[in-house]
Each structure stands twice: as C-alpha cells, then as structure tokens.
Amino acid sequence: MTLDDVPGRSAYDADHEAFRETVRSFLAREGVPNVAEWEANRLVPKEFWRKAGAIGMLCPTAPEAYGGLGLDFGYNAIVDEELNYAGVPAGFALQSDIVCDYIAAYGSEEQKQQWLPRLVSGETITAIAMTEPGTGSDLQSIRTTARKDGNHYVVSGSKTYITNGQNADLILVVAKTDPSAQPAYKGMSIILVESDREGFRRGRKLDKIGQDAADTSELFFDDVRVPITNCLGEEGKGFAYLMSQLPQERLTIAIGAQSSAQKAFDETIVFTKDRKAFAGVVFDFQNTRFVLADLKAKLQVGWAHLDWAIKRHLAGELTATEGAAAKLWHTELQWEVMDKCLQLHGGAGYMNEYPIARAWRGARVSRIYGGTNEIMKELIGRSL
C-alpha cells in the first residue's frame, strides 16, 4: 500500500504528485533498506542528507536566488508524508519546515547567501536549541545567555532534547541577550552558532524509548564566542520569530502523525488478514473488523482536515490556534491508531522486530514535542 490509496486528497496538484513519486522512489531505494542499520547505530548518516539534497528533497521552499526551488509548502508536506509513511527516521522536517524559513524570513543577506544553499544541498545540517533542563515548553524561563563583548556574543548555557544534535553543523540557539528585560520574552534572541566554534560541545546522544535513529542530544555552550552578525534578525525579537512560525511547525507535526497512523493501519490490515487464529484469521473476528472500521472512519476525517489545513496554510490563512488544534487532534488520533493496531497484533505487537512496535514507541513523543498537547488545549482555550 501507499498514500495513493487514500481517496479524495485535495491539497495537491499534478506537480506536487509528480514530486511525490520522486521522493517515494528515493526513500524506497536509499532509505527503507537502511533503517534497521540506522536504528542500531542510533544515527542517520550525513551522506543520506546530501543524497536527499541532490534530488531537491531538502528545503524546497528556499528561494531560487539561494539555490532552492522556490516552491510552496505543499512540497515540504509531501516529503513529511512520505518520510513518515515509509518509516525513514531522518530529521528533514526541522531543517526544511522550520530552520529554512527562519533564515529566509529573518536572516541578513549575508546569512542567506552563506547558509541557505548549504541547507538545500544537505552540506549543512541544522538544529534549533530551545529546550533546557527544567524549562520544557516554558521558553521564557530559559537561562542560556548571549552576552555582548565588543563585536561578539559570548554564548553560555546548556540545551537538551535537541533534534539533529549529533549531526548539526549549525545550531540556532535561543538565548537571552537581555536577561533583565520584562516581560522576559523581550530579551530573547536567536543566535547562529557553528559547531566548530571553540567552547561548543555535544553531550550525550540521549537514550529514548522510541525513534532510535533520531540523534536527539544534549548541547553545551561554554563561553562560545560568535560575531554580533550571527544574530538572526533583530536582537530581542527571537520570541516573536519563534511564535510566528508555530502554525507551520505544528502543521508539520500533524502531517507526520497522520501519515504514520495511516501506515500503522495499513500494515495492521495486512497482518490481521494473514494471522491464523481458531481455524480462521484474526480479521474474521467481529471485534477486529469493528476496531478497524472505527479507525478507518477517523483516518478519513483526518485526511480531510489535514488537506483543509494545508490549503489554508498555502493561502497564508492558517492561524496559530488552528495549527495548535491540528497538532492536538492528529497526534491524539495517531496514538489511538497505534495503540489499537498494536493490540490487534497480539503478542507480536510487543516485539520490536515488528514495525508496529517501533511505530508505537516512536509515536509517543508526538503529543509532547512542539508543545505538549496540554499546552495546545490551553492555547485553544485562550482563543475561545
């Protein structure tokens, strides 16, 4: 099965779908056969990023003037869908859907020329360092500072749970350039820190319960000196920049959740029709068919909503509240699908050799990152 089996998609045109075929073929050839090795090594090799960049999979929205294709977010969404459906654990979404847009929207001309072509090619891998031990979703409580010293910032602090942390060549560090500012968000900036700067070091590649190949890491900044020109956009505007990109970030999470849920459902159909039980197969039980029927209906609704959200975002109309609602709904659906599909696998579902077990473990974090679902409810509630 493929995502082509999902009926009635409305967010994409023929050019999008032609791009999808390129992405799907690449993942089948270069990604899927290597997933087990990457999970064992707990790292996706940089070479895979460069190969993806060579066919236009990275940062398709980057302007042509900076080496990109100048396409719309729909192309990013297709990469996100196919990666998650194929179960290929590369951290492309962070680079393509978040970092690229930060630099394109707020970077200086020099920053755009220096970094965007390298992001597009995969030569440079990026990370965003926001979360700190003890802060979680409360960004205003961060303690990392970027103190001015002549024509440099001196960056000091630590970050944790950082996606692409081991591979990253460039880190966008959220730091306080004015720790005394009130309210606190007015003193926050985004500082570009290259990984070869003295004083920067990577900590542990964190041992997670899922997403084994994702190089989620601790990062440490011990008086790292970077030029003042490494500030992304205006000093003190970092929090505003982060908030402005949240609808797209949360839509990206929703897309991944929906796609991985669909894959789990499709694999469970195949499994239950093949698994023998009581002179028949598991699919023959009414309970099995009822559970799957319920999930199919919810997935159908999910795809309709997702296409609505993608089209609204392409039109520049998706609000922060709608992005939060999409993240909330699709990740909750993802967990329901994963858990019920694992149950239909019986004992096999608890074995890591079966894809559903790995998918179930990997899905648990979706309701946490990008802002916990409890925070999503709080944000939606404030808009009522």
Asked about 332 being catalytic, the answer comes back as no
Using CA atoms, how far apart are residues 136 and 380, in angstroms rounded to an integer?
Answer: 19
How much of the chain is helix, strand and coil, in % rounded to 5? 55, 15, 30
Taking Cα atoms as reference points, which of 260, 273, 270 lies closest to residue 336?
260
Taking Cα atoms as reference points, which of 258, 232, 2 lies closest to residue 128?
232
Tokens 């920049």, residue located: 241
Q: Please, what sign has the CA dihedral across residues 284, 290, 295, 296? A: positive
Which residues contact residue 301 at a Cβ distance below 8 angstroms, ignoring those fewer than 6 apart? none
Given the residues 249, 267, 317, 336, select the one marked as catalytic: 249
**What are the structure tokens assigned to 304, written together?**
């309709």
- Residue 52 sits at the vertex; the CA angle it makes with 43 and 219, to the nearest 5 degrees, is 35
Taking Cα atoms as reference points, which of 60, 136, 129 lies closest to residue 92?
60
DSSP tag of 297: H
End-to-end CA distance of the chain: 40
Residue 233, helix vs strand vs coil: coil
Using CA atoms, how far apart are residues 50 and 28, in angstroms rounded to an integer?
Answer: 16
Using CA atoms, how far apart are residues 308 and 304, in angstroms rounded to an integer?
Answer: 6
Please give the positions annotated as active site: 249
